[in-house]
Structure 1
Amino acid sequence: KPFSNNYLAEPNLKDVCNVIDDSKFNWAKLGFFDGEEELVSMTKQLKRKGSLVDHRFIYKADGVVRLQEAHDIEICVVEVSGKYLNQETRKIYFDHHKANYGCLAMLKTIADQYKYASVDVFEKLKIYFVHAADNKIKLWSLYFQDEIYHFWREGVLNVEPKFEDKEIYNSGKIPKLLSDIINPSIVKLAENELKKGMANLGPFDSPE
């Protein structure tokens, strides 16, 4: 499996899903499914159009995020365009456009599932696409507003692993705890004893 898939995209997305699943949104039971996972939304939309004639041509993604307790709605698709530092533009561009249509299928499937919902509520919904390619992981979003589908890049993470990071990891050395690093001197001031000299220490801005 590609470096960026095994060591960055997959574990981080699983962690994100686990954190959200432990929050107030745990009613949805967020799940990340990786490894040539079928994008069911695309299959549904192709069947709806009468275009799916062979199961071999289903959309297979490197990862899909689903709301398992909400009709298995798909809200995020993941594509990994080759191994780390792969710069084959044809593969990268193909995966980008492939996922773009995948996001449209996810958005349409949600509209079909909640067909009685208002457009105002639907316009607040975003579908996400995580794309790992070359040395970057990009987060894209798709949403519908004012009768237009908007596809936006939300952010970019530059992946720059260092050899010394691997050496530190393999050395078995225990890193310092944050509680040891953040260790300021904390005292309780006694107003009666120390108030007299405090004016000389500032702050020097006007209280007005």
Structure 2
Amino acid sequence: MPTPLPHGIHKRSLLRNDVYQSIRDAIIDGTFAPGERLRDPELEAWLGVSRTPIREALLRLERAGLIVSQPGRATIVAPEDPAATSNARQVVAAMHELAARLAVPLLVPDQLSAMVVANADFSAALEADDVDAALAADDQFHAVVVDASGNAMIPVVLEQAMPVLRRSEFQHFSTDAARHSVTVHAQIIKLASIGDADGAALATRDNWLSLGAEPSI
């Protein structure tokens, strides 16, 4: 797909992280297809920033496995790799399991309420076939637990592993199978509300491991 036309989506003061997220999201949603060449001048025109933050973003995306750089030749969107996606899914599931195990004894009513609201937003987004909103609501749901865990290494590891898995998430949330996650989220909330850290952790792990698979119940 051609690079989107400039339309003022960003200002010159755009933070480096926003440049990274914009290119990442364009890869995840298929705007930039696997195998497509990414050209600095076109990205600069699209985002309205200089080459420096573009190159920094591309380096981060390469480390995350979403692009492949061929020195002196081209920078292309990495093809989807089932093995890499499976590896990322296992790491993400393990990190969220750990987060839940640590967080549940510490969660306060306001945090549980935030999870309920996020799951309701997630459900509404799926009903509206709004994948971007569903991803955002799902992020908000899990962020409550990650933040409450108090382990600063968990988000660091997740930032490295999530980009590859995100393409699978985007596809999954475009299907009816994603509705199963609403039920699992509700189960996690219930287990957390009664202080069952092990149960909530295992349910969280299984939720991530089942990503992309048809629900069994």
Scaled by the length of structure 2, the TM-score of the pair is 0.21
Of Structure 1 and Structure 2, which has the larger fraction of its residues in strand?
1
The higher-RCO structure (CA 8 Å, 6+ apart) is: 2
Larger radius of gyration: 1
Scaled by the length of structure 1, the TM-score of the pair is 0.22
